[in-house]
Structure 1
Amino acid sequence: MQPSIGISSEHTLAVAQSLSAILADEFLLYVKTRNAHWNVEGPDFHAKHLFFESQYEALEDVIDSVAERIRSIGHYAPATMQQYLQLTHLSEMNREANDGQGFERLLLEDHETIIMHLRGYVKTFAEDYKDAGSSDFATQLMETHEKMAWMLRAHLR
């Protein structure tokens, strides 16, 4: 049964497709952050290990909220690695060194990429698709990523 929430089915489909790309980005970033948590090495191992853990735990909540937003507007969330890799704006991480600053730089780039995409979705969702709820949701996600990016940037000073 399709929800009757004051947004046309064409618009909820378009929003769901955009949210699916966001979900793919979030999931890939989560995997990359887990990788950093598991594989970081160096004299600051313990601090970085705990820092990356706090970041991936925050991303777990983000992933769940994006999938639930897709469901709340009447569509199914993608849930396979194949779908995520097809939908994401990010690339998988290939690293030779496992130092904390290297991981932080790569993760920071991904957060900033996500922030830029979210910034575009805020206006599109509200104006083009008449979905203020998804626009507000994208704004909240953007703010979450801005804070996570700030934390990464602070480690790189």
Structure 2
Amino acid sequence: MREIRDAEQKRSLKQKDKDSVRMTMDQALHENLVKDKKSDSNQALVDRLNHILANEFTLFTKTLNYHWNVTGPRFHSLHEFFEAQYRELLELMDTMAERIRILDESPVSTLREMRSDNTIIETPGKFLSADKMINDLLAGHMEIQRQIQDTLDSGNVDSGTDDFLVATLKAHQKNSWMLKSHLT
């Protein structure tokens, strides 16, 4: 009788061990699925942020170019204005790259990566009028605002990145307003 009871206890313990292993495996599988889903979600967000960063870099380069090449009666005021704008864009790019690092990913950081991930087209500045330069920069800021809004609307943004993007959006909106104010 005792042997039967011992055998049943051993079977019961083995079954509990199997159930425990199965439960642990099920939990691990579930956690990995959640982690993979989160990783995919995180990667999609980082891809969007890198796209915005690449466009900010192109806009920065255009602004610097126009700072160097603006001519005409408004030269001095636009030269200083473009300088203030490219300095602000540099700060925005730096914080965007840092936000991507906070998300434990790498920001685009080479010219090749920037070029392959941007949608703002470079324009030589040396033959453009001041108003054409301003309109071109305004179009760049508007494109970045659209990309930021699309990212916010995607529903795939953590609260820290949401706050960061709202602040970045406001900076581009302010720069757009300032550019519009310089148009004749």
Normalising by structure 2, report the TM-score: 0.76
Note the residue ranges of structure 2 that are not aligned, 5 or more in a row: 1-36
- Number of the residue aligned with 1:87: 117
Report the more deviating stretch, 35-44 or 96-105.
96-105
Selected match of 1:31 from 61, 73, 91: 61
What is the count of residue pairs matched by the alignment?
Answer: 148
Query: Is 1:74 paired with 2:104?
Result: yes
Query: Larger Rg: 1 or 2?
Result: 2
- Structural RMSD (CA): 1.5
* 1:12–1:74 contact (8 Å) kept in structure 2: no
Identity %: 34
Query: Is 1:118 paired with 2:167?
Result: no
Selected match of 1:16 from 46, 55, 78: 46
* 1:24–1:85 contact (8 Å) kept in structure 2: yes
**1-structure distance, mates of 2:121, 2:178:** 22
Cα deviation for residue 134 of structure 1 reads 1.6
Aligned amino acid, residue 84 of structure 2? S
Query: Is 1:57 paired with 2:84?
Result: no
SS at match of 1:119: helix
SS at match of 1:41: coil
Cα deviation for residue 54 of structure 1 reads 0.4
* 2:57–2:114 contact (8 Å) kept in structure 1: yes
Summarize deviations over 1:10-35 as a string: whole Å, max 9, x none.
22211111110010010000000000
**1-structure distance, mates of 2:160, 2:45:** 11
Normalising by structure 1, report the TM-score: 0.89
SS at match of 2:108: coil
Selected match of 2:134 from 90, 94, 104: 104
- Number of the residue aligned with 1:4: none
* 2:120–2:140 contact (8 Å) kept in structure 1: yes
* 1:67–1:77 contact (8 Å) kept in structure 2: yes
* 1:33–1:55 contact (8 Å) kept in structure 2: yes
More helix by share: 2
1:139/1:101 CA distance change after superposition, 3 Å: same
- Number of the residue aligned with 1:145: 172
Aligned amino acid, residue 73 of structure 1? L
**2-structure distance, mates of 1:102, 1:40:** 10
